[in-house]
Structure 1
Amino acid sequence: MATHFLILSLLISYHLLTFTVAEETGFVGSLDRGKLGLAQKDKVSHFRFYFHEQFTGTNATSVTVVAPLPKYNSTTNFGMVGITDNALTVGPDRASKVVGRIEGLYAATSQSEFNLLVVVNFALTEGKYNGSTIAVLGRNRLSQKVREMPVIGGSGVFKFATGYVETSTLYLDSDRSTIEYNIYVAHY
């Protein structure tokens, strides 16, 4: 019995000491969830966006900034790095209403198949989402019809966002593509 009491006392002392030391460092502290706009419960929203890449011409929206390694150029594009800045639309037609932009980078990271590491922000410009972003980072396995990647955060309405995206290619040729993104995001 005395041993149990001693162990319990040590655990409580350790917890209190750890908390006190952390608070006294000057660079960590407790947060007021209400002041951050996190007092209410989070909600899960579904967004469907389309973007239309242009790979060639004077108005290209997705460009290669580092060419693939010669050995992999025609098979996996391994080593290729690109930048993208495309309009987000509400429909698959290029003339659909623009509601934001998708900005980011992508890199071919597999030596055995054409996969991309994708790092993008969905920068929204409409309604209560104007000025807010959803950040996505993940492996885009292009051999799959529907690819899944994680939502890793956001800003504005999407502070502390989590979730995932499903993306699929609707159209692709050597000059352009149309990509659909379904974003399932938990936010406050």
Structure 2
Amino acid sequence: MAKVIVLLPIIASHLAIFTLFSAFTTTIVAGADSDFGTTKTQNLYRLKKEKLTHFRFYWHDIYSGPNPTVVPIVNSTIKNSVSGFGFISMMDDPLTLEPQQSSKLVGRAQGLYGAASQEEVGLLMVMNFVFLEGKYNGSTITILGRNKALEKVREMPVISGTGLFRFARGYVEASTHSYNQTSGDAVVEYNAYVLHY
């Protein structure tokens, strides 16, 4: 019994040293998640309080005239398709404050969209809103989602951004202001709600 009493402090001290060493090793390993990535805390990037910003502007998708802002790059091969399934267009559309194309330019919508539905007009939209005005100049937000173009209001997600919109998320609502069936030209009002730091 005396041997057990003498051994208890020694075992306890070894256990304490082992526990400290294990905790130290775990701390070192936690900082090095893998060969190519490490976990960081948000404070490292000095992120401020998250805020919600609302933008409203008009997107001008112009197929006609001498300076189109959108061009078809793949045409649908399906005859008499009501949805245009398979077509793809590339855009560099102006974003203006008002529906008139001559109003103040605040940015550009750069990307592409394609008909991704066989049964209805359902577009896959992949675009960056590149801001050219004020404190947002040079920053972007990225939209990736489904646009049911014939509905009155369509919602698509904001999945990211750059500049002032790093780590951004949110959504946009699109509603058609005007559409010319002959030329394909469209003006769409966008309301973007973006959470960012």
TM-score above 0.5: yes
What residue is the counterpart of 2:11 in the other structure? none
Question: Residue type matched to 2:161 in 1?
Answer: G
What residue is the counterpart of 2:6 in the other structure? none
Match of 1:60 among 68, 77, 86: 68
Change (3 A) 1:19 1:183: farther
2:57/2:191 contact within 8 Å kept: yes
What's the Cα RMSD here? 2.1
1:6-155 matched pairs, under 5 angstroms: 20=29, 23=32, 25-38=34-47, 40-71=48-79, 73-155=80-162
Distance 2:28 2:98 in 1: 51
1:156-175 matched pairs, under 5 angstroms: 156-173=163-180, 174-175=182-183
Deviation of 1:74 after TM superposition, in Å, equals 4.1
1:22/1:28 contact within 8 Å kept: no
Deviation of 1:24 after TM superposition, in Å, equals 5.6
Match of 1:177 among 186, 190, 195: 186
SS of residue matched to 1:128: helix
Identity, % of aligned pairs? 48
SS of residue matched to 1:70: coil
Question: Residue type matched to 2:61 in 1?
Answer: E
Deviation of 1:18 after TM superposition, in Å, equals 11
SS of residue matched to 1:167: strand
Deviation of 1:33 after TM superposition, in Å, equals 2.8
Q: Does 1:186 align with 2:195?
A: yes
SS of residue matched to 1:157: helix
Q: Write the deviation string for residues 69-100 of structure 1: whole angstroms up to 9, x where unpaired.
A: 233x5411000011111111111121110011
Structure 2 spans left out of the alignment, 5+ residues = 1-21
Distance 2:50 2:33 in 1: 31
Deviation of 1:128 after TM superposition, in Å, equals 0.9
Distance 2:54 2:173 in 1: 11
Deviation of 1:42 after TM superposition, in Å, equals 0.6
Deviation of 1:35 after TM superposition, in Å, equals 4.4
Instruction: Report the TM-score when normalising by structure 2.
Output: 0.80
More strand by share: 1
Instruction: Report the TM-score when normalising by structure 1.
Output: 0.84
Question: Residue type matched to 2:195 in 1?
Answer: A
Change (3 A) 1:161 1:172: same
Deviation of 1:32 after TM superposition, in Å, equals 4.6
Deviation of 1:23 after TM superposition, in Å, equals 1.6
Question: Residue type matched to 2:178 in 1?
Answer: Y
Structure 1 spans left out of the alignment, 5+ residues = 1-12
Distance 2:145 2:169 in 1: 13
Q: How many residues align?
A: 172
2:59/2:109 contact within 8 Å kept: yes
After TM superposition, what 4+ stretches of structure 1 lie above 6 angstroms from structure 2?
16-19
Distance 2:112 2:135 in 1: 26
Question: Residue type matched to 1:163 in 2?
Answer: G
Larger Rg: 2
